[in-house]
Structure 1
Amino acid sequence: MRQTNPSYLCIYLPSVTGHHLTYLDKVLSALDKDEKVLILTPATNAVFEAISKKVDKVIFYRKTFKSNSFIQSYYECKSIAELARQTPVKKIIAPTGTTAAWLWPIFNFSGRWKYHFLMLSPGLLTNASYGEKLIKLLLLCLHPKNTLSTIDNASYDHPGLLGYFIRSRFKLIPDPIDKQEPITKRAAYEQFGLKKGFFYLLACGAMNTHPRKNAIMLIKSVAAISAKHKVKLVLAGKLSKEIQTYIDNLGEEQRDRFHVINRYLSDQELMDITNCADLVCALYAHHYSPSGIVMRAIKTNTPVLVPNYHWFKYMVENFNVGYLLDSLDERSVSEMILNIKDEQAEPSFNCCEKLLAYSSAQNFQAHWRDRVYETRESMEYEEVRTSCV
């Protein structure tokens, strides 16, 4: 990028995995061509190196991992502030989600640096203690107006005073859905080696680093279903050793109920495998922000089976995109799968065309142009709320 301004737009990137890289690539493509960009990040990999060729400078810091979100926020804020004191920065953005948002107003007490941080969820509608939620609420009050965004439309649309507070503190931006269009089901069956005559479940994405996906519980649930029902689970994504070992130790008859693709899949492959599934299973525990797996299923009109809380519940109840599971245990999952296969009506996918327009990559990029350049180019969620929800 051409260097026409002595100060950098600083992008804080807390991770170089998963959605962080997807978001980063889209944000960089949305910026003005002459924007002078610096990325602060703790790590690198081949994908990040390819994406970061678009920027002027990359600075690495040593990341400290803490399970307590406030302590983690302290260390992240410390790294950002140290960089900003040493390097001319005109604005700091965290477009992929960061816990730094909790304590940043304290580090930026003088208002020295302009900023806009994305929080995947406001963190006020989780299973945390009331004391922790109160602290979070008070910390959010320290942020000036128009400095925070979230992708969590369920929290944003929450009724009552808490929803009003969230709408007053946060801008809502879309969780961008993949641009790729799926190939036909027939072509996808051939590509992935699937056979006709089965009811295909899908669990996808990285399962080696995401224990909250409950992959082994889902595997046990499918293994418990009689072979006569012709139910198969496709596991599409990098598996942990624990998951692969569990499948390997099953009897031959039970192993036949699983189709394993143990590798990272491209965005196009994930779209294709989603399109040829009969039911996408996203059985997350304690997950309080949107799921790209579910959004991909919505784009392909593939029903989802999700837990009955927060964002998952909001999407099923307001957009009729699938089925809610009241209990995350093996027996309930097995029974629900068979009930969906044999008895349940197909979901109607209410108003999803408008939802997908809002969630497009182009609209995500327009929202970040609004945050960086203070333009008004984006489609707001209000258009979806007023006509669909």
Structure 2
Amino acid sequence: MKKAYNQTWIDNLHIQQQAAEWKSKNLLTPAQEEQVKEHFPEKFYRPGLFVKIGLFCFAVVACSFFIGFLSLFWVDTHSDTGFSVLSLIACGCFIFVLEFLIRDRKLFHSGVDNALLYAAVAAAMVPMFMLFNHAPLWAYCLAALAIIIPATLRYADLLGPIAIFGLVFTLLTDLMMKFALGKALLPFAIMVLSVCIYILVRKSRDIYYRECRQILEVLSLVTFYLGGNYLVVREANAIISGLNVSIAPQIAFAPLFYFFTLAIPVAYIVSGLKKPDRMLLIVGLLAFAFSIHTYFHYFSILTVSQGLTLAGALMIAGAVALIKYLHTPKHGISDEQDRKNNLADLQALIAAEKLGVTPHQPGLEFGGGTFGGGGAGEVY
């Protein structure tokens, strides 16, 4: 799939962001950061957040006005076929304007292009619901995926992976709910599909889809845990069975789901610390907190206020103890944010060498006879 945005500029933008991060850690000077921007330029139009929101709202209003204006000259707007044709024409117009603005105005997720993309996708889906209003749910999911996947591959919009993820799991659920064995195996199917998605997206190294990949990784980690969580499985099983009871009945393979509820968060936390992977660690900590809630939901001997007080006290004590323990790095782990050990220093040195300058950082002076420089002499 050909990409809509300039790939070189996106790569350069990523390099500039990395240089800004190094500058915040005093691994690069402001002058060196400016040199990085000169060597790796990008010319995208990227307004601030509030300007982007305003442009998005303006574009949505403009798209709505355009469809209304177009319908004034359309003869057959009362039938499903006529309105579907009108929607397809509007979709083509939105895509044409979107491609023109990206190419001519250098837009890059600036609000206007996002709104035009959403309007085009929505207009393309209208005929599917107007002409096939009695189709099964799985058919709607497949048709929507046929539209959203190419749009995401071309424009790398952040809502694309969320929509694709939801449609894929909706499709899986709808198909497995059609037979009794599928209902029983649904939690395991969700976990297997989550693993497959996680492995698949981890193979991608394209900067163009970096944020989309991160979204899919987080979603797959969350659904893998929820698919094995005892509380979720037990309550969902009662809902699927149509039981209107205050306490859901016991489920099959309960010990296995007890194990999943505890083991998955622990595995996330351990893996996040070993790699290190901040995303995996945060998801693991949140999952562990939900596992505690799962236990107290069925076996609590404390009131809500007592449980919250005890949990808060334990979390504060654990945080203080870990900060003190990791103040001096242990096993490559530190309490410093985004600590990369010596890797960032090495990357900064390489980048500085390519630019013909040297990084400014205490203890890494060049030519002064101290350790780390080419001019080291008697003073080591």
TM-score band, normalised by shorter chain? under 0.3
Question: Higher helix proportion, which one?
Answer: 2
- State the TM-score, normalized to the length of structure 2: 0.27
Q: Which has the larger radius of gyration?
A: 2
Give the TM-score taking structure 1 as reference length. 0.27
Q: Greater share of strand residues, 1 or 2?
A: 1
